[in-house]
Amino acid sequence: MRDRSMKKSTKKSTKKNEERGPQKAAGMPVKFTLFLIPLAAAMCFFGIYRGETAVILSKAITICLECIGLG
């Protein structure tokens, strides 16, 4: 019974989907993401290698007067 009503609703949904017009098709392929991940990781490691973490640490271990509204 439930199965039949589901088929019915699926038909109905297909019709409604057609009415809604063209849907956004497939998103970006995973391959593209897998290509970007090493790039992002390389950026991250280059920043560490260049000493950016030291800049961040020096800022973060003192009270940031701007952040708290005094500076």
Q: Which residues bind other proteins (CB under 8 A)?
A: 2-3, 6, 9-10, 12-14, 16-17, 20, 23-30, 32-33, 36-37, 39-48, 50, 52-57, 59-61, 63-64, 66-71
- For residue 66, the minimal CB distance to other proteins (Å) is 4
The DSSP call for residue 20 is T
Type of residue numbered 48: I
- For residue 35, the minimal CB distance to other proteins (Å) is 10
Radius of gyration (Cα) for the chain, nearest Å?
26
Type of residue numbered 55: V
